[in-house]
Amino acid sequence: MLRRILAISKKEVRQLMRDKRMLYVLFVFPFVLLILFGYAINFDVHHIKLAVYDQDNSVNTRDFINRLTSSSYFDLVDHLNKENQIRTVLDRGAAQVVIVFPDDFSQNIHSGRAVNLQILVAGVDANTASVITNYLRAASATFSAKLNNELSRVRGREAMVPINLEPRFLYNPDLNSTRYLIPGLISMILIMTAVISIALSIVREKERGTMEQINVSPLSSVELLLGKTIPYTIIALFVASLILLAGYLLFDVTIKGSIILLFISTFIFLFASLNLGILVSTISDSQQVAFQIAALISLLPSFLLSGFVFPIESMPPVIQIFTNITPVKFYIVILRDILLKGVGLEAFWDQLIYLVLFSIFFLGLASIINRKSKTI
């Protein structure tokens, strides 16, 4: 049995070395996805186009504006002279936010009265508008604290802050959204590579007519599948190592946890992904159909239903149940725990069990379909 499995593995490696397109899928495609998604998907909003309608034109208003534009978050694009220009710059997209300073801004500040500062935000993109509002609230709170300290010193008393909030962010101190998204991106790349490669490999045997020869040989279905999955498992583990290295070099993603646990978890995840690819091969009759189905069931669920971009907790209960169709959901939790948190097995052991159950279910489903159709 071992000799037959090794013989199939050697045959698969030789065929793979002659298939340039498959080599591209395995070695080039993952890094293209990593670079594109890694730099394109980013929740951090920078270079917000800011316009100002300053009716006070005082030192305080200029100080407030300079504080905003001294960072990379805001770019001052226009100083407005008339109120009717506000709607124009927002309609044309020339500005994303307009700050309106009233003409009594400085007077009210020095008199100790509250000042109402109007902020008009383009709300077409709700997420960006929310981020802009939070940025401005934080800047306004900081500026207000500075003014309060200055006024208190002028009046000869110490400024008192009833509650001094000192947040400390663990695991991702600088709140870099790219570092948070990279584990999900790695998961999506690995499942696409595994599912597509094993599905095309088995379907290629059908197209060339060699599957019938294999069926009449002493080789069993289990030996055939093991012989085909072993090379792709080793290749996928190698690709995973290269992706982690690229993630470190490009996005500063380090492994804070156990490398051994990471290897074991990745191996179980790849086993689950390959079983999903085997299922695809049992229902496909051509490489074109297999590629389309494999890309569909690996890419879309990984992107939409795994927690990669959209939090599962915020989804409706029915959709949360539906998210269990992809192993990426469980692997992302493991990756984030190992890469970002550096925790041990006690934090994600249940996710490994889910991956094993996922593998058994889809391998059993593929066996049932194969037993009825005799495709493998």
- Predicted pLDDT of residue 309: 81
- Predicted pLDDT of residue 162: 62
Name 268's Cβ contacts closer than 8 Å, sequence gap at least 6. Answer: 352, 355, 356, 359
- Predicted pLDDT of residue 268: 92
- pLDDT band (50, 70, 90) for residue 2: confident
- Predicted pLDDT of residue 160: 61
Reply yes or no on whether the pLDDT at 212 is more than 70. no
Reply yes or no on whether the pLDDT at 220 is more than 80. no
Lowest mean pLDDT, pick from 24-33, 82-91, 147-156: 147-156
Reply yes or no on whether the pLDDT at 313 is more than 90. no
Q: Is the distance from CB of 340 to CB of 180 less than 8 angstroms?
A: yes
pTM over 0.85: no
Reply yes or no on whether the pLDDT at 375 is more than 60. no
Reply yes or no on whether the pLDDT at 227 is more than 60. yes
Amino acid at 162: P
Amino acid at 355: L
Lowest mean pLDDT, pick from 126-135, 191-200, 211-220: 211-220
Dihedral angle at the C-alpha atoms of 303, 308, 310, 315, nearest 10 degrees?
A: 90
- pLDDT band (50, 70, 90) for residue 3: confident
Domains in the chain, CATH or no CATH each: 2-42+176-373 (no CATH), 48-154 (3.40.1710.10)
Q: ∠268-272-275 over CA atoms, to 5°?
A: 140
- pLDDT band (50, 70, 90) for residue 141: confident
Lowest mean pLDDT, pick from 7-16, 99-108, 263-272, 327-336: 7-16
* Mean of all residue pLDDT scores within the chain: 84
CA distance 315 to 332: 17
Q: Is the distance from CB of 118 to CB of 103 less than 8 angstroms?
A: no
Q: What is the mean pLDDT of residues 130-142?
A: 88
Q: What is the mean pLDDT of residues 282-287?
A: 83
Lowest mean pLDDT, pick from 192-196, 221-225, 287-291, 332-336: 221-225
Q: What is the mean pLDDT of residues 282-290?
A: 85
Q: Per-residue pLDDT tens for 143-184?
A: 888 877 776 666 666 656 566 667 787 887 777 778 888 888
Reply yes or no on whether the pLDDT at 134 is more than 60. yes
